[in-house]
Chain A
Amino acid sequence: MRDWGGTTGPVTLLLVFLMSTASAACLPPPAGEVLLRVSGAIGCTNAGDEARFDLPLLESLGAARLVTRTPWTEGEGMFEGVSVRRLLAAVRARGGTVRALALNDYEAEIPVEELVRHEVLIAWKRDGRRLRRRGKGPLWIVYPWSEHPELDTRLVRQHSVWQLDRLVIR
């Protein structure tokens, strides 16, 4: 890209145009407050080399529901969000590992295989109410603990990142 920086030929303009339409076609830019930024080995971006999501964009990927208890809350809750699998497909992720970073700079390395196999959710609602930043929101990686009690391990707990801010695919 840098090599073409000096040229202003019609071919270059055409290429830039085609690339931008290709990007626009796979993911529109976010209009509202950005909740999640995805970067790394992805084939679809909408802001520089990142894919940024506001809530309507996340919802457009296909909202899913998951009823489960969690190691940190009492009783079961009904979580709404998007499955990590769908999100990764939307950004055309190519890597095998997801680095999840939180607002408090906590981070966890999660194998894509684990996220896909258990249909893990990136949730923004619990029992119909938005997850607040003062709690575990705005986004929380939630595992199906009720359905698979064997997932209640130290490692998986560490993977269940709350106040999720960024994903880096590797």
Chain B
Amino acid sequence: MGGGAARNVPRYSRTVTYLLLILALALFAAGLLYNTRRLERGNEALLASASESAWNVFQAEFELQRLLYALERYALEGGAGTREELQKRFDVFWSRLPLLIEGEGPALVREVTRAEVVVPDLIATLEQLAATVERARIDRAELRRTREELEAMQGPLHAISLATLHEMARRHTVLREEVALLSQRNNLSLAGLAGSVAILLFLLHREVARTRFLLARSHLQERRERHLAHHDMLTGLPNRRLFEERLRELLRRSRRGRRIGLLLLDLDRFKDVNDRHGHAVGDSLLRAAARRMRTCVRRGDVLARLGGDEFAIVQEEAADEALCLRLAGRLLDAFVEPFELEGHRLRASLSIGVALFPDHASGVAELLRRADLALYRAKAAGRGRLALFTVEMERDRS
């Protein structure tokens, strides 16, 4: 559970979130583009139908001109060829008129011109003229009447043509404006989206920072709890649990030819201090005693408070018992000086029991028991002393 792991989790989720944001942005932009395209395509279709309408109107006008021309030629030349041509042009012109008002294409013409009223009239006129045109010979009076009728169609047709052209021009303008408006709206949408993304990124950053902070805090808390479980609150020294753990580990790891020294320490008459001066002073004494002990041990030694006024030291680098006893002696000396505690001057001596591994024991429990036995002897001998375990002690006990 290192700091790296704590940072890795949010970094991964952040990458995913960034990707999702980019995806959202891309989708939105694609949607806008699609909309624009659809409008443009719709416009194209609209313009196409408009131009088809205009084409039809233009064709009708054009065919009327051709019919009048064929009529003129027939009047001048006569003959079967010109009569056939006249009839053909008559039919073709006729065929163009319904196109102005029927079907889907000419919607534009119907909307903006009077074609729906005018065109049926024109067709009715053609129906009257048909009998004349189909005749093998057309006399002059009939020819003149036919020409007059046809020439009279030019005005209305031209009016339809002009209105259609006007409408087409108008629609072009409207569509252009519509497209411009849409692109403007698209720009606004994109700006809005960019803003949203910025806000999201800001929120994301904040969230990541918060998560990191919470993780760090929980990490710290965990360490503190672990520390509390393994340490004595009063003195800050390792407690019995941690001490025994360490001891067990040291014994397991100890190499051949190396010794491990165990010192059990007990404050003499601590109960009296508590009874006479109260627990507050007793606690202060324990703290002060722990401080003094700490000044005596070397780095690598383990000093622990086992409970009450009981302390212990494991000396890992105990090459021989002399070294071990020297430490015990240093400790005894350190407690000669009285303690100055909250206005009280207190004298507190130590009793120390010492046992060595592997000389006196082969396991943790045995080592502890034998050191305890030595401590008991030291106390029995009159306090303020140290005692090294001997086999005799065990024998005397039994």
Tell me, rounded to whole Å, the shortest Cβ–Cβ distance linking A137 to chain B.
9
A133 with B91, Cβ < 8 A, contacts A71-B103, A73-B103 known:
yes
Q: How far is the CA of A92 from the CA of B95 in the complex (A)?
A: 33
Report B-chain residues with C-beta under 8 Å of the C-beta of A154.
48
The B contact surface, by secondary structure, is helix
Q: Closest CB-CB distance, B96 to chain A, in whole Å?
A: 7
Docked Cα-Cα span, A103 to B70, in Å, equals 14
Number of B interface residues in the complex (CB < 8 A): 16
Given contacts A71-B103, A73-B103, contact A134 B94 (CB under 8 A): yes
Q: How would you classify the secondary structure of chain A's contact residues: helix, strand, loop or mixed?
A: loop
Report whether A134 and B103 are in contact in the complex, using a CB–CB cutoff of 8 Å.
no
* Contacting residues, chain B, for A4 (C-beta < 8 A): none
Once bound together, how far apart are the Cα atoms of A74 and B102, in whole Å? 9
Q: Which of B63, B94, B95, B103 has the most CB of A within 10 A?
A: B95
Q: How many pairs, one residue from A and one from B, have CB atoms within 8 Å of each other in the complex?
A: 31
With contacts A104-B59, A154-B48 known, is A133 near B102, CB below 8 A?
no
Query: What residues of B have a CB within 8 angstroms of the CB of A71 in the complex?
Result: 103-105
Residues 96-140 of A, flagged 1 when their CB comes within 8 A of B and 0 if not, give 000000011000000000000000000000000000111110000
Closest approach, in angstroms, between the C-beta of B82 and any C-beta of chain A? 16
**Contacts of B103 on A, CB cut-off 8 Å?**
71-74
Any A CB within 8 A of the CB of B92? yes
Residue of B nearest to A106 (CB): B59
Please provide the chain A residues from 67 to 84 with a CB less than 8 Å away from any CB of chain B in the complex: 71-74
**B291 in the interface (beta carbon within 8 A):** no
- Asked whether, in the complex, the Cβ of B92 is within 8 Å of the Cβ of A72, the reply is no
Residues A136 and B48 in contact in the complex (CB < 8 Å), given A71-B103, A71-B104, A73-B103: no
B158 within 8 A of A: no
Closest residue of chain B to A165, judged by CB?
A: B88
Residue of A nearest to B48 (CB): A154
CB distance from B307 to the nearest CB of A (A): 93
Q: Chain B residues with Cβ under 8 A from A103's Cβ?
A: 88, 91-92
A136 touches B95 (CB 8 A): yes
| 0/1 string, B257-283, CB within 8 A of A gives 1 | 000000000000000000000000000
Return chain A residues, CB-CB under 8 Å to B63: 104
Q: How far is the CA of A154 from the CA of B51 in the complex (A)?
A: 12
Contact B48 A134 (CB under 8 A): no
- Whether B102 lies near A72 (C-beta < 8 A) is yes
Flag whether A39 is at the interface (Cβ < 8 A): no
Interface string of B77-100 (1 = CB under 8 A from A): 000000000001001101110110
B130 to A: closest C-beta gap in Å: 8
Could you show 10 A-B contacts with beta carbons less than 8 Å apart?
A: A71-B104, A71-B105, A72-B99, A72-B102, A72-B103, A103-B88, A103-B91, A134-B91, A135-B98, A163-B92
- Which 10 pairs, one residue from A and one from B, show the smallest C-beta to C-beta distance? A133-B91, A134-B94, A134-B91, A72-B103, A103-B92, A104-B92, A134-B95, A135-B95, A104-B63, A154-B48
